[in-house]
Amino acid sequence: MSVRRFTRRDALKTAAAGSALVLAPALRAQEVAVKFTLDWRFEGPSAPFLMALEKGYFKAEKLNVTIDSGAGSPAAIQRVATGGYDMSFGDFSSLTEFYGNNPGIPGPAAVYVVYERSPATVFALKGKGIAKPGDLVGKKLGAPVFDGGRKAFPIFAKANGIDPTKVQWTSMEPALRETMLVRGDVDAITGFYFTGMLSLIARGAKEEDIVAMQYKDHGVNLYGSGILASSEMIVKRPDVVRGFVKAFNRALKETIAKPEEAITFVKKRDGLINEQLELRRLKLCLDNFINTPAVKANGLGSLDRARLAETTKLVVSAFGLKSPVDPSVLFNPLFLPPAADRKI
């Protein structure tokens, strides 16, 4: 039996393999872990986040990002404020509420505006005598207590000459909201446009019978949702925040251009979703709240500071907050990609 000699070439191969094993953990260690939470379930509008993850855009920025589902904007903000998560997706009204109720406490700030307009909407069904905002007087409205549209209803009411005390509210869990409207337990509900519209159809409502009064179309100019980063991330790890935003911006532009491709990443994350339904939800979101005239003119991610100051005052008043809120704490523009990269 012959014995194979261990040559110099074998030694070099062994050394190279050993070096690779040593280097692999070191390369992985260079990636920074980022815990991110959405404001809701994995649905169509979460596509750009999942695309950035699955196509390696976060990895390209040396970020090891984990994305979890959420339970509403207030919860997403609390998760970051308490240190459980590094970044989140939440709306400006809920962020304003956090600062109004927690003066002096360092909280998260928006670093990229995703929904340039609020998706808050009042839904009703034909047959209840509701066709315009004034018809809501004396009616029974339903929504979860934390629903953004319900909390901002006084702003909607003022813009449309309605006495908000002339509306009766019924509280319910989010899963029951559309069901209670279809059953006739309430006369109208509030919710996000792209969620409420498709949920009503899924529960048997005919699309032509749905009355949808979007806040943005009835005098309410609130900003919607954006990417939030903790104060610690902003101060101690600005490059991480900048890299996250850069990767997301890249994915969002691709989502706008190719929503059919983008929705496949949502399906990959949750195989039980109805792909066509979620594609429609995504398109409703893109067309109404992301790819807006203002965004087409000024680019993704940014906002108008005068408008933010005005709407912040409205939210403080409507929500009955303890303290005034300085709008400068709500949005930090220093992490936005160059304007040319944010143009649609």
* Shared domain check, 302 and 156: no
* Shared domain check, 277 and 141: no
Q: Which two tokens stand for residue 82?
A: 């308490």
* Shared domain check, 231 and 277: yes
Question: What's the domain count of the chain?
Answer: 2
Q: In this predicted structure, what is the pLDDT of residue 173? A: 95
Confirm whether 101 is domain-assigned. yes
Which of 183, 217, 251 delimits the end of a domain? Answer: 217
Q: How confident is the model at residue 73 (pLDDT cuts 50, 70, 90)?
A: very high
Confirm whether 231 is domain-assigned. yes
* Shared domain check, 156 and 83: no
Q: How confident is the model at residue 29 (pLDDT cuts 50, 70, 90)?
A: low
Q: What is the mean pLDDT of the chain?
A: 92
- For 157, residues 6+ apart whose C-beta sits below 8 A from its C-beta are 133, 163, 164, 167
Crossing angle of helices 259-269/275-285, nearest 10°? 130
* Shared domain check, 129 and 107: no
Which of 195, 217, 239 delimits the end of a domain? Answer: 217
Average pLDDT for 202-223: 97
Helical ranges in 160-287 per DSSP H: 177-183, 193-202, 231-236, 238-257, 259-269, 275-285
Question: Structure pTM?
Answer: 0.90
Confirm whether 233 is domain-assigned. yes
* Shared domain check, 228 and 309: yes
pLDDT, tens digit, for every residue of 239-274? 999 999 999 999 999 999 999 999 999 999 999 999
Is there a contact between 308 and 327 (Cβ–Cβ < 8 Å)? yes
* Shared domain check, 155 and 49: no
* Shared domain check, 191 and 173: yes
Rg (the chain; Cα; Å): 23
Q: Which amino acid is at 2?
A: S
pLDDT, tens digit, for every residue of 121-178? 999 999 999 999 999 999 999 999 999 999 999 999 999 999 999 999 999 999 999 9
Q: In this predicted structure, what is the pLDDT of residue 22? A: 46
Is there a contact between 55 and 277 (Cβ–Cβ < 8 Å)? no
Strands 210-214 and 120-125: what pairing?
Answer: antiparallel
Q: Which two tokens stand for residue 313?
A: 């005052």
* Shared domain check, 138 and 111: no
Average pLDDT for 301-314: 98
Q: Which domain holds residue 138?
A: 120-217
**75: part of which helix (H) or strand (E)?**
helix 73-81
What percentage of the chain reaches a pLDDT higher than 90? 90
Q: Work out the end-to-end distance of the chain between its first and last CA atoms, rounded to an integer number of angstroms.
A: 71
Q: In this predicted structure, what is the pLDDT of residue 28? A: 52
Q: How many helices (H) and strands (E) does the chain have?
A: 16, 10
Which of 159, 184, 217 delimits the end of a domain? Answer: 217
Confirm whether 10 is domain-assigned. no
| Order of strands, sheet of 210-214, starting from the edge strand that comes earlier in the sequence | 168-170, 140-142, 188-192, 120-125, 210-214
Average pLDDT for 263-292: 97
pLDDT, tens digit, for every residue of 91-111? 999 999 999 999 989 999 999
